[in-house]
Amino acid sequence: MGKAGDIIAIGGGGFGRNPNQPIIEKYIIEQSPKEKTNVCFIPTASAEDSAYIVNFYRAFSKLNCIPIHINLFQRTPRLDSTLNKQDIIYVGGGNTKSMLAVWREWKLDKLLLKAYNRGAVLCGVSAGAICWFEQGVTDSWASNLNIMNCMGFIKGCCCPHYDGESNRKPTVKKFLLDGVVDSCYSLDDGAALHYKNGIIHTAVSFYKGANAYQVSLKDGNVYHKTIEGVSLIQN
């Protein structure tokens, strides 16, 4: 097994909201050493929403790459040969539980692990962020937020939209106080965590004031440790 690739977990934002300003997307492309990078979008979690796919191409067509996407609810290509050619794989947001169930049926989870172990850059937003962790805080259920087991490429639990949805912070606090998790990597909208070989390399901010935190308990109180990183915001 070779050196594992990069994982970039994004808390929220990006081309799904603003395809005309591909800030975090440019950062992602820059992580590949290739002159012309192959980028694959997997929009399973959104049930392959057509507008989302259009926004993917709108954003990545502005960058030095060759973008494609994979459908699993229509005629599906040979996944192994398609993914073997990809330098970057971007997973979109939506329903994490349903996404992972479909992936396992297609054995896509195993193919993504193979891509990671050969050095591909894996990334994504919301569902596409938490899926790489051991556990994630998900809104896959309509009634309330839950913690679910994910693929476990990197250690820990992750919560996206930490500042973007009002129920996120109190829910993470409750999970900590109840002993459901020991700590949780919590990502604001416009913030990301960049891992190299399974270890945090840097936090990345592309919204003003957006941060990534390691949230834990200290003497019975919730403690936020801001993870240091880089800002992509132009002054």
Catalytic annotation present for 224: no
For tokens 């440019």, name the residue.
26
Q: pTM for this one?
A: 0.96
| Structural domain spans, the chain | 6-231
- pLDDT tens-place string over residues 59-97: 999 999 999 999 999 888 899 999 999 999 999 999 999
Enter the DSSP assignment of 228.
Answer: P
Catalytic annotation present for 161: yes
- pLDDT tens-place string over residues 185-205: 999 999 999 999 999 999 999
Active-site pick, 46, 161, 194, 205? 161
Q: What share of the chain is helix, strand, coil (3-state, %, to 5)?
A: 25, 30, 40
Active-site pick, 126, 186, 194, 205? 126
Q: Does domain 6-231 have CATH number 3.40.50.880?
A: yes
